[in-house]
Chain A
């Protein structure tokens, strides 16, 4: 399944609030 990753934390927080949905944040150091 393709995940559409958000790249901006404040935009993601605002979108989560607007859509009343939870937000998952993946903190990674893995090579791209």
Chain B
């Protein structure tokens, strides 16, 4: 559900949601809790990937592990040419672990990230899983 907030028409909304820069995109869950924030312009495919990540975050924070894993897997596959994909692989693994308690998936994720995105921040975050 999309809502447009232009600074000239609704400056109070900027204050209400702590939007200090434009463009700012918020992904809120159905309870009105902010789950993702995008600040600044992005190329179209990166922006789409970030939006999908926001929906993944909504599912994750509601402990809908299977839904979150599916969304993250799709981001990783469909936007593999963006660095967002590395973050998606990370959270795909975490979602799977949350659903199954199978810690071996985390090690596999670390190996996958190292192979595909060796210099990415999310690869660094997965390094402890390799042990």
Contact = CB atoms under 8 A, between A and B. Distances in A.
Interface of A: 3-9, 12-13, 15-17, 19-30, 32
Given A6-B4, A7-B4, A9-B13, A27 B26 contact: yes
B32 interface: yes
A28 B97 CA distance: 38
> Per DSSP, are chain B's interface residues mostly helix, strand or loop, or mixed?
mixed
Given A27-B19, A28-B23, A30-B22, A22 B3 contact: no
Most buried by A among B1, B24, B25: B1
B30 A25 contact: no
A22 B5 contact: no
